[in-house]
Amino acid sequence: MSKDLRENPKLGPSVTTSTSVTETVNGSHEFKIAGYSLSKGMGIGKYIASDTFMVGGYAWAIYFYPDGKSVEDNAAYVSLFIALASEGTDVRALFELTLLDQSGKERHKVHTHFGRTLEGGPYSLKYRGSMWGYKRFFKRTLLETSDYLKDDCLSFRCSVGVVRSHTEGPKIYSIDVPPSNMGQQFGKLLESGKGTDVTFEVDGETFSAHKLVLATRSPVFRAQLFGPMKDQNTQCIKVEDMEAPVFKALLQFIYWDSLPDMLELTGLNSKWASTLMAQHLLAAADRYSLERLRLLCEASLCEDVAINTVATTLALAEQHHCFQLKTVCLQFVARPENLRAVMQTEGFDYLKQSCPSVLTELLEYVAKVTHNLVASSCGNEAVLDGSDNNGRRVKQRL
């Protein structure tokens, strides 16, 4: 028997509690179909897809079928589906598909799981490509004379609520803790110039810094400044093969722990200049083993893939082992509408010379895209696990 129970017989055993909370992580995506009349006649079972969007840690996409999905409907209806576009098993979710009224009267056409009792609970998507939606979403003749079609455009909104569960224990107290400002403090230390003990000469410019800060953040600087093979002259170290703005950005990240403003560093208000800086900074991050900075640059370059820069970015991704960036670039270049234009850029010549092995991978991607286009034109399409408002099951897209 415990001491507390011996001294106080009225004291019973302690009781603790916890609560399992099940809720949805919600997100929405708006998808606009511009030039609806031009999409008609593309064929039953052929679709227009939205860009992928993230909700609840999963990627999703909207599929619109201008001539409908099923042969038996004889193109009398348009079809609309939402699909799981990333890997997942038994992802439970609520959905809402809305065709927006463009007259301002807000008489939207809505099919929703939200806000109503579901006999079987949230819908479960079994694997990547599983779908939920409607083969007979709207009759085409009615759609084309309605307020949903304006200036030959349709607008859809898709809402997804991914079901998540977690367990909460009792909270004894609640104290607001301010976010860390360590990066700001170190950043101000760099700006002040106080206590600096090492200088770098980069492309004719000099930069002062603190050895301990650099050594703490980068194993390469640690070896250079304090290792057994350290530079003999650590008062002024010359950095080769790097431009001054890039080294300045590198130092800013080391002290502030955040990606600097690319446009401010380049002094040019253009996407091209920002992308060029991110390319150089990625190489510098790999050179000094700054993994977080390398990933930040990789993520930034994934968002800014363009015809005139993608070949150079692809070469960098190969040289610095950025596998996600490499995949994004290969997928972009392999598209029929992009391939010819990319091959005419100077960056593509550089890619051929510096990374010839990547061309083989690019051919494989082009072959996959071509195969998918041929399969699509032959009508070899199926729908993934889901159902429509007629209760019919749908199968996996090939």
Quote the CA–CA distance of 197 and 93 in Å, as a whole number. 57
Residues 130 and 263 in one domain: no
In the listed set 251, 269, 287, which residue is the last one of a domain according to the structure?
A: 269
Is 390 part of a structural domain of the chain? no
Is 368 part of a structural domain of the chain? no
* Residue-by-residue pLDDT tens, the chain, 398 positions: 445 545 555 555 678 888 888 888 999 999 999 999 898 888 998 999 999 999 998 999 999 999 999 899 899 999 999 999 988 888 999 999 999 998 888 889 888 888 777 777 788 898 888 898 999 999 999 999 999 999 999 999 999 999 998 888 877 777 888 888 888 899 899 989 899 999 999 999 999 999 999 999 999 999 999 988 777 776 789 999 999 999 999 999 999 998 878 777 776 667 788 899 999 999 999 999 999 999 999 999 998 899 999 999 999 999 999 999 999 999 999 988 899 999 999 999 999 999 998 998 898 888 887 766 665 555 444 344 344 333 333 333 32
Is 373 part of a structural domain of the chain? no
Residues 129 and 189 in one domain: no
Q: Euclidean distance between the first and final Cα of the chain, in Å?
A: 67
Is 11 part of a structural domain of the chain? no
Quote the CA–CA distance of 166 and 20 in Å, as a whole number. 6
In the listed set 164, 194, 226, which residue is the last one of a domain according to the structure?
A: 164
Dihedral sign from CA coordinates of 254, 259, 260, 263: positive
Collapsing DSSP to helix, strand or coil, 20 comes out as strand
Residue 377: left (phi > 0), alpha (psi -120 to 50), or beta?
A: alpha
> At 200, phi and psi to the nearest 5?
-115, 135
For residues 310 and 342, the answer to whether their CB atoms sit within 8 Å is yes
List, as one string, the DSSP characters of 205-234: EEEEE-HHHHHHH-HHHHHHHHSTT--S--
Which structural domain range is residue 76 located in? 21-164
Is 5 part of a structural domain of the chain? no
Number of domains in the chain: 2
> At 81, phi and psi to the nearest 5?
-140, 155
CATH of the domain at 132: 2.60.210.10
Candidates 258, 42, 52; CA nearest to 158 is 52
Residues 102 and 136 in one domain: yes
Is 287 part of a structural domain of the chain? no
In the listed set 253, 269, 285, which residue is the last one of a domain according to the structure?
A: 269
What is the enclosing helix (H) or strand (E) of 18? none
CATH of the domain at 222: 3.30.710.10
Quote the CA–CA distance of 173 and 195 in Å, as a whole number. 41
Q: What angle do CA 297, 299, 302 make, to 5 degrees?
A: 110
Q: What angle do CA 389, 390, 395 make, to 5 degrees?
A: 90
Is 138 part of a structural domain of the chain? yes
Is 107 part of a structural domain of the chain? yes
Dihedral sign from CA coordinates of 62, 63, 64, 69: negative
Quote the CA–CA distance of 58 and 86 in Å, as a whole number. 6
Candidates 81, 58, 7; CA nearest to 162 is 58
Residues 85 and 219 in one domain: no
Residues 127 and 191 in one domain: no
Residues 30 and 121 in one domain: yes
What is the enclosing helix (H) or strand (E) of 110? strand 109-112
